[in-house]
């Protein structure tokens, strides 16, 4: 029980003001005082004071006792076996005995005593949701903790934490329902994070550190639905991507390339040696011809646009650490630096020394150029994340990396088994196409994936048997990981459909609210 006492300046009496918990020693002293009051026959208030009124402590406090309080319920719980207490939970009252509350130790209810009872209301009040409390009391009544399955799982766990009841006390049926709901909520939150929904809601949080202009720029670049300008920027990004890949494809067609005005092979012996030595016709075509002017303009426009887009995204990022946490951003920066370094090297240095460099140097620059251009495919991935169907595919691949690696491992394992085996059964046939074990590896991979190019095939009876087993094993190897990949795709596809339905529902609600906002006068006039 909590008594509230304070010392007044007029008569040194103690009245209700400051909460002080009365200990067992205080209770025994109070009981002695009550007996002395009864012996004196006093029916009025008796004042109990201390010898030193200037030093006030919890052990010296003496509340005002009336004759009506002689039969009060202010006694320890151990002396009240069989007595009942009223527990008021947000206005809903429950009557329970002290013995029942003691059945589950180390909980909030089991630690209640008579000192916790409000002397005015004769009850203990808790400001909690009364919907869950009958199930909480059920644990004390029956020893089993059951909740309605219609209740929210996280809310149940919150109530259990407040009443200091471990979640392990839940019955198996309710534990499964409760934690399945929580696991489903966590899974949905994870899917929302992967789809970028959490990032869209964090714009306002970043406003404090980024400023309004940076926030608007970030939304402009990452959310095409935010404005008409954002949609135009997305269209330009698609156009630049198409120009970039189209110009690269056209540059490999000899008919669309422009011949050089002079033939360096006539006056340069080094170049003549390169022609007769290692250069192929395709490499030679690249060396003695140039891209046409239109193709060069399209490629340069695409490169300038990508450069501007990368710089703007870097500026709009709330922090450099967050920017470089993304693999796409890292690849963009690598492409940006390497492309401009190669551009300057080729146009400023190599333009004057193509005819004097070695074959190795030429091929090194050629391969670096194409490897750098291949990084542009990640620009397609970035744009694809803005479209829901492509985002589903990308997220499926990302979530299925382990399964894809498992599939490759199984294919390699099968090739290591069936490659040497097909070579062994065909080794006695000189007309067999299995000339060596590496060719057997190639045949095993092509057969297990059921591609079947037909360039290599067995010609002996045992070779046919090995081929049948190889195909069967390949179907089993590829089927197991693909089933998991299909499950991941179905999961992301279902969540994408849920997002689409939710957006349609919110759009319909907005239109309905707008239509309801039209005044009756305007409706009648229309």
Please tell me the predicted confidence (pLDDT) of residue 162.
Answer: 94
Helix ranges (H only) for 349-400 are 359-374, 377-384, 388-399
| Cβ–Cβ under 8 Å, residues 461 and 490 | no
Which residues are within 8 A (CB) of 14 and not within 5 positions of it... i.e. 6 or more apart? Answer: 5, 6, 7, 8, 61, 62, 63, 64
Q: How far apart are CA 23 and CA 18, in angstroms?
A: 16
In the beta sheet, which residues pair with residue 4?
Answer: 19
Which residues are within 8 A (CB) of 199 and not within 5 positions of it... i.e. 6 or more apart? Answer: 222
Helix ranges (H only) for 46-150 are 98-101, 133-142
First to last CA, the chain: 71
Q: How far apart are CA 61 and CA 30, in angstroms?
A: 10
Q: What is the pLDDT of residues 465-497, one digit of tens each?
A: 999 999 999 988 888 888 888 888 888 888 888
The pTM of this model reads 0.53
**Which helix or strand (DSSP H or E) is residue 124 part of?**
strand 124-126
| Cβ–Cβ under 8 Å, residues 284 and 257 | no
Q: How far apart are CA 499 and CA 395, in angstroms?
A: 15
φ and ψ at 518, to 5 degrees? -70, 130
Q: How far apart are CA 202 and CA 196, in angstroms?
A: 10
For the beta carbon of residue 117, count every other beta carbon within 10 angstroms.
20
| Cβ–Cβ under 8 Å, residues 489 and 392 | yes
Residue 120 token pair: 């005015």
Sign of CA dihedral 268, 274, 276, 280: negative
Q: How far apart are CA 125 and CA 128, in angstroms?
A: 9
Tens-digit pLDDT string for the chain (526 aa)? 333 333 434 444 333 333 344 455 554 555 555 445 444 444 444 343 334 444 444 344 444 444 444 334 444 443 344 488 999 999 999 999 999 999 999 999 999 988 899 988 889 999 999 999 999 999 999 999 998 888 888 888 899 999 999 988 888 888 777 777 667 777 777 777 777 665 554 544 455 455 678 888 888 888 887 889 988 998 999 999 888 888 888 888 888 888 876 555 544 555 555 554 567 778 778 777 888 888 888 888 998 999 999 999 888 887 778 788 888 888 889 988 988 888 888 777 766 666 666 777 778 888 888 888 888 878 888 887 778 888 888 888 888 888 889 889 999 999 999 999 999 998 888 888 888 999 999 999 999 988 888 888 888 889 899 999 999 999 888 888 888 888 888 888 888 888 888 777 776 665 555 455 444 443 333 3
Beta strands across the sheet bearing 92-97: 92-97, 84-89, 124-126
Please tell me the predicted confidence (pLDDT) of residue 21.
Answer: 45
Query: Domains of the chain, with CATH numbers?
Result: 79-195 (3.30.710.10), 213-386 (no CATH), 394-503 (1.10.287.70)
CA trace torsion 488, 490, 492, 498 (10° rounding): -160
Render 40-55 in DSSP notation, one character per residue: HT--S-B----S-TTS
| Cβ–Cβ under 8 Å, residues 254 and 285 | yes
């Amino acid at each position: 029980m909590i008594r509230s006492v304070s010392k007044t300046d007029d008569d040194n009496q103690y009245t209700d003001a400051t909460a002080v918990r009365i200990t067992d020693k205080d209770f025994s002293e109070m009981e002695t005082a009550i007996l002395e009051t009864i012996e004196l026959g006093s029916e009025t208030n008796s004042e109990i004071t201390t010898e030193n009124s200037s030093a006030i402590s919890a052990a010296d406090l003496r509340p005002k006792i009336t004759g009506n309080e002689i039969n009060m319920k202010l006694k320890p719980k151990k002396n009240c076996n069989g007595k009942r207490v009223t527990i008021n939970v947000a206005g809903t009252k429950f009557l329970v005995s002290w013995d029942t509350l003691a059945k589950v130790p180390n909980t909030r209810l089991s630690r209640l005593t008579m000192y916790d009872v409000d002397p005015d209301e004769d009850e203990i009040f808790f400001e909690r949701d009364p919907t869950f409390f009958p199930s909480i009391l059920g644990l004390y009544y029956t020893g089993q903790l059951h909740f309605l399955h219609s209740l929210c799982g996280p809310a149940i766990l919150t109530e259990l934490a407040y009443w200091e009841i471990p979640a392990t006390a839940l019955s198996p049926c309710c534990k499964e329902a409760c934690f399945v709901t929580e696991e489903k909520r966590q899974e949905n939150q994870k899917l929302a994070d992967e789809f970028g929904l959490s990032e869209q809601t964090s714009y306002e949080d970043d406003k404090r550190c980024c400023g309004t202009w940076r926030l608007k720029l970030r939304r402009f670049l990452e959310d095409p639905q935010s404005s008409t300008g954002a949609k135009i920027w997305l269209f330009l990004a698609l156009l630049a991507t198409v120009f970039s890949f189209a110009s690269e494809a056209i540059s490999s067609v000899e008919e669309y390339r422009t011949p050089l005005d002079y033939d360096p092979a006539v006056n340069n012996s080094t170049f003549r040696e390169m022609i007769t030595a290692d250069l192929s016709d395709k490499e030679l075509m690249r060396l003695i011809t140039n891209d046409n002017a239109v193709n060069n303009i399209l490629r340069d426009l695409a490169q300038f646009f990508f450069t501007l887009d990368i710089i703007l995204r870097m500026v709009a990022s709330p922090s450099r650490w967050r920017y470089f946490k993304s693999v796409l951003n890292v690849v963009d920066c690598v492409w940006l630096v390497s492309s401009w370094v190669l551009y300057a090297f080729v146009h400023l240095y190599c333009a004057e020394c193509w005819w004097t460099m070695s074959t190795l140097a030429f091929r090194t620059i050629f391969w670096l150029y194409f490897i750098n251009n291949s990084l542009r495919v990640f620009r397609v991935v970035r744009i694809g994340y803005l479209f829901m169907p492509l985002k589903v595919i990308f997220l499926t691949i990302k979530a299925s990396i382990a399964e894809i690696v498992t599939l490759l491992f199984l294919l390699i394992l099968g090739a290591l088994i069936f490659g040497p085996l097909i070579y062994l059964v065909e080794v006695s046939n000189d007309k067999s196409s299995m000339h060596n074990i590496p060719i057997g590896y190639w045949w095993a991979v092509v057969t297990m994936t059921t591609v079947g190019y037909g360039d290599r095939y067995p010609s002996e009876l045992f070779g046919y048997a090995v081929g049948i087993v190889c195909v069967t094993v390949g179907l089993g190897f590829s089927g197991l990981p693909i089933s998991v990949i299909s499950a991941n795709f179905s999961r992301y596809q279902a969540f994408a459909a849920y997002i689409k339905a939710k957006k349609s529902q919110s759009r319909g609600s907005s239109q309905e609210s707008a239509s309801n906002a039209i005044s009756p006068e305007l409706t009648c006039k229309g």
